[in-house]
Structure 1
Amino acid sequence: MTTFLAVAENYHLKYEFFSCKAYGKLSKESGKWMMSEVILKPELTICVDEQEAKALKILEKSEKACLITNSILSKVSISPIIKFSEVCV
């Protein structure tokens, strides 16, 4: 999710770790298999002094601005995990 990196930098979000896994859901429609849903599971470790609400807002903005998300017809949902770190660089 390179869009997240750009949005986080723009909002000056201090974070220690970011990764995002994607899972697909297959459905059979009109006799054909198709990818009916994509579930994004971003994991973000933010510095203790950062606000969780700010981090969630940045993740949501990233999803809305994502070129890939906006290019596919399947439903895309996001299920974030936010952790806190005492030590941030």
Structure 2
Amino acid sequence: MLAVKMYTTAVCPYCVRAKQLLKARGVEHIEEIRIDTNPQERERMMETTGRRTVPQIFIGDTHVGGCDDLMALDARGGLLPLLGAA
């Protein structure tokens, strides 16, 4: 299974929802990068993704996007193949 990295904040219901879905699909570890406590990581996230909102989710080297993007990927059957692409 590919590594999952997620930019988050402490109080983000979309981050919680995304983590719940990933765990339901078998992800045991999510590398969380808190941008509310580390402004440098917020800058890195915005440079990398072009987005300002959290969560921003990466599976391996693939930028999935935010929570809605993750849910849509799962709904069309693309999440499990992406997770297992290792």
Structure 2 length-normalised TM: 0.28
Higher helix share: 2
Structure 1 length-normalised TM: 0.28
**Structure whose CA Rg is larger:** 1
Higher strand share: 1
